[in-house]
Amino acid sequence: MTKSGKRLITKNIKIYSITTLDQLKEWCESASSSDFLSIDTEFKWEKTYLPQLCLIQLAIPESVALIDTLSMTELEPLSLLLANSERLNLFHAAQQDLEVFELSGFEKFSNLFDCQIAAALIGLDEQIGYGALVSKLLDIDLDKSQTRSDWTIRPLSAAQTDYAVNDVRYLKELYELMKHELTNLNRYHWLQEDCKRLHSAVSLQHRCIMAWRKVKGVTSLRDEHLRNLGSLANWRERLAQEKNLPRGWVLKDSQLIELASNKPSDLSRLAKLLPGREAFLRQHGSSLIGAMEAEATIDWSDLSRPAALSPEERKWIKSKKIVIKERAKELNLIPSILCSSSDLTSIARGEIPARLSSGWRTQFLSEVLD
């Protein structure tokens, strides 16, 4: 695939720093007639349970808007703009942006084009970064020194502003190049299928129910202790949500494993397992014990770990990896785009992953799925 060259995209664009509702209304009105909206976010997600949305970058062909979400509490004009299901929303590596948007109260997006997914479907690396993609296709080298920047600091530095603008100003050019390539390869519908499968945040309630899966060390527990862990992880998740704290700040994973294994029935025994947490136990100890006592009343029918793969299943997976590698080579794709190792593991256990149950991949995987 040839590069477009810098000469096609050197035109000046207006940059708007938006900090008031009136400014937001004006820019959203100007963008409402655009067929494309390039989108990115900057956020901080270190000391809270929910992401702290700091900046939303939006671009149309004529301008880029940097929306300072730390200085604004009213974002209704933006919500209305993003709710238009007919406009094409351009992202790069959209998954976490979608999660941040939904956890920040925005509606789910539709009509997505993810440039990272598109790049994979034309034969580039599955996880290619935005800077690398811009360099490869547009021959432009971006300064990525602000990747780990603190976006809560105001005012933004000139370097932060340039970085934020650049993260959206080239998405439309990338889209046009890759859509042309996908169309020539008769793969644009592949991209549409995969983007429809993009999902944003699961509900906060579902996060509580499934919280045990995220606990490191779960494989070390005996089966009879899994229900204890399910209740403890559920309890920790709800408290983390209520206090808006990282779950590890409430209780560490290692502490959950210890509690699940021993199931202390009174505050004295609980204190021995959680040394140095006296203030925490005074406030939450009784509730924590109550959660462990209540585990029998919760439906943990889905609380089970996958069985270890048998030698026959491992042999089957190994043979199918060879088949997938051959098919992927014929299509000029990274093998994991077609069928990943985790996909094969699921199939070996009798479970067909959603992305392989229908859609474009099925025509190339008959030897794997049959």
Q: Is the pLDDT assigned to residue 1 strictly greater than 80?
A: no
6-196 has which CATH code? 3.30.420.10
- For the stretch 87-106, pLDDT in tens is 999 999 999 999 999 999 99
**Strand ordering across the sheet containing 88-91:** 14-18, 63-68, 52-60, 36-44, 88-91, 112-114
CA distance 1 to 150: 36
- For the stretch 246-284, pLDDT in tens is 999 999 999 999 999 999 999 999 999 999 999 999 999
The domain defined by 204-297 folds into DNA polymerase; domain 1 (1.10.150)
Give the pLDDT band (50/70/90) at residue 175.
very high
Q: Is the pLDDT assigned to residue 324 strictly greater than 60?
A: yes
State what percent of residues in the chain have pLDDT above 90.
Answer: 80
- 57 closest CA partner among 115, 26, 101: 101
More confident: 206 or 329: 329
CA distance 57 to 55: 6
- For the stretch 10-46, pLDDT in tens is 468 999 999 999 999 999 999 999 999 999 999 999 9
CA distance 218 to 232: 12
- For the stretch 118-155, pLDDT in tens is 999 999 999 999 999 999 999 999 998 898 899 999 99
Q: Is the pLDDT assigned to residue 361 strictly greater than 70?
A: yes
Q: Count other Cβ atoms within 10 Å, centred on residue 120.
A: 21
Q: Any idea which residue has 């040839």 for tokens?
A: 2
Does residue 16 contact residue 23 with C-beta atoms inside 8 Å?
yes
How does 209-243 read in b/e, with b if 16+ C-beta sit within 10 Å? bbbbeebeebeebeeebbbbbbbbbbbbbbbbbee
What is the model's pLDDT at position 82?
Answer: 94
pTM score, whole prediction: 0.91
